Amino acid sequence: MLLTKQKVFKDPLYGFIHVDHVAVKKLIDSSVFQRLRRIRQLSGVQMVFHGAEHSRFSHSLGVYEVAYRFLEIPDLKKSLNKREQLLFLIAALLHDIGHGAYSHTFEAVFGVDHEKIGAGIIVTNQEIRQILDEIDSDFAEDVASIILKNSRYPLIEQLISSQLDADRLDYLERDAYFTGAAYGRVDLDRIIRVLKVKDGRVVFKVSGIHAIESYLISRYHMYWQVYYHPVARAYEVNLEKIFLRLKHLIEKKYSFAFNLAPIKKIIENPNDLRSYLMLDDFYVNGLIGSLIYESDEVLSELSKDFINRKIWKYLNDDQANEEEINRIVKQYNPALRPYYLAKRTVENSTYKDFGESFGEKIYILLENGEVSSLKEQSRIIDSLLQSGTKKDPKFFYRP
């Protein structure tokens, strides 16, 4: 059902976010979606790039708007019927609904999966479910299937999550805008002009190959300059260690002064969505702020570091530093090492071209109508693929 009057939100990237459907407006107004305002998009990164204080709410609206603009592409208009178009818009809007505060770190320690949680919320949360049921009774399940990549709607899945999709197009541009990074600019207009559908698959006209190369290189630089900045990583290691100590203490039935109910419940049942929805930045930061006053010294110290931004130190974890690292490790009581020391490696290839599965390869539509792959058509990308994956192993320690 369409709104009687289009609703817009002012956005610093796109000028306006355009909303035409009643359901989309209701979803944005739902408390589950509003909760994304309280979860920042970039965890540790904002400790280095102070401008990057934007939330998953802004990003989710952005992905929705990219999807909205995609729907002006003639091939997509033809390939998707009206219901599928709405499915695409709503899946774009809700693709990150399963995120909690610092969720990548949280997931690693507590073993939850934000995509499964997201699908769970879409299907079972009363507020969301009711809005989607008003469209039709299969809608919620269909949106969830797209988030889970069940291949029920492969074309929409590719548009939302692949090597070149609405999600990435928004976050690269948005994160670049808010950090102030010189990289990350994406020629969205151009990419939209060359996006076609061939045999149910997203392909890009060969004339757009430079825009795609540029996008992949920008992504590469955003990873190495912004997302993988060592100070951001050090901050995330600090956080991970807090979660780890917390987990261990809960397992040991340590008695907490602060109300840990939601976290305890999630440990017992990782599918307790009601508890999960409480885990926004306010809760987690409030929690850590309180943990400073716990009697467990390890937890208290770790929490103080986090709140007062005492950034841990780090060294490249390579042969040149082997001796130095060993020397440092020995200075720590073995019982403390799991909490105060960490070896972590990040790695990133500009682009992966593996497999035939939809959504992983970037396909290029040649002038003669044949479909090729980016790897075959781009000398620059081919050589980068051959150069393999760049890794950065680091040793972090609490000084």
Considering only 269, 271, 295, 387, the residue that binds a second copy (CB under 8 A) is: 387
User: What is the pattern of x (binds a second copy, CB under 8 A) and - over residues 166-205?
Assistant: -----------xxxxxxx-xxx-xx--x------------
Considering only 49, 153, 227, 256, the residue that binds a second copy (CB under 8 A) is: 49
User: What is the pattern of x (binds a second copy, CB under 8 A) and - over residues 88-117?
Assistant: ------------------------------
Least distance CB 194 / a second copy (angstroms): 12
Q: What is the 3-state secondary structure (H, E, C) of the chain?
A: CEEEEEEEEEECCCEEEEEEEHHHHHHHHCHHHHHHHHCECCCHHHHCCCCCCCEHHHHHHHHHHHHHHHCCCHHHHHHCCHHHHHHHHHHHHHCCCCCCCCHHHHHHHHCCCHHHHHHHHHHHCHHHHHHHHCCCCCHHHHHHHHHCCCCCCHHHHHHHCCCCCHHHHHHHHHHHHHHCCCCCCCCHHHHHHHEEEECCEEEEEHHHHHHHHHHHHHHHHHHHHHHCCHHHHHHHHHHHHHHHHHHHHHHCCCCCCCCCHHHHHHHHCCCCHHHHCCCCHHHHHHHHHHHCCCCCHHHHHHHHHHHCCCCCEEEECCHHHHHHHHHHHHCCCCCCHHHHEEEEEEEECCCCCCCCCCCCCCEEECCCCCEEEHHHHCHHHHHHHHCCCEEEEEEEECC
Contact between 31 and a second copy per CB under 8 A: yes
Q: Which stretch binds a second copy (CB under 8 A): 138-146, 195-203, 337-345, 384-392?
A: 384-392
**CB-based contact 306:285 (threshold 8 Å):** no
Contact between 211 and a second copy per CB under 8 A: yes
Nearer to a second copy, 116 or 304 (CB): 304
Considering only 141, 360, 382, 392, the residue that binds a second copy (CB under 8 A) is: 382
Show contacts with a second copy in window 278-307 (CB under 8 A): 281-283, 285-286, 289, 307
Least distance CB 236 / a second copy (angstroms): 16
Contact between 228 and a second copy per CB under 8 A: no
Which token pair is 161?
A: 């999550």
Least distance CB 126 / a second copy (angstroms): 14
Contact between 15 and a second copy per CB under 8 A: yes
Alpha-carbon span 103 to 262, nearest angstrom: 15
Considering only 7, 25, 37, 344, the residue that binds a second copy (CB under 8 A) is: 37
Contact between 131 and a second copy per CB under 8 A: no
Show contacts with a second copy in window 324-363 (CB under 8 A): 350
Nearer to a second copy, 60 or 158 (CB): 60
Contact between 313 and a second copy per CB under 8 A: no
Contact between 123 and a second copy per CB under 8 A: no
Q: Where along the sequence are the contacts to a second copy (CB under 8 A)?
A: 8-13, 15-16, 29, 31, 34, 37-38, 40, 46, 48-51, 53-55, 57-58, 61, 177-183, 185-187, 189-190, 193, 210-211, 213-214, 217-218, 220-221, 224-225, 281-283, 285-286, 289, 307-309, 350, 379-380, 382-384, 386-387, 390
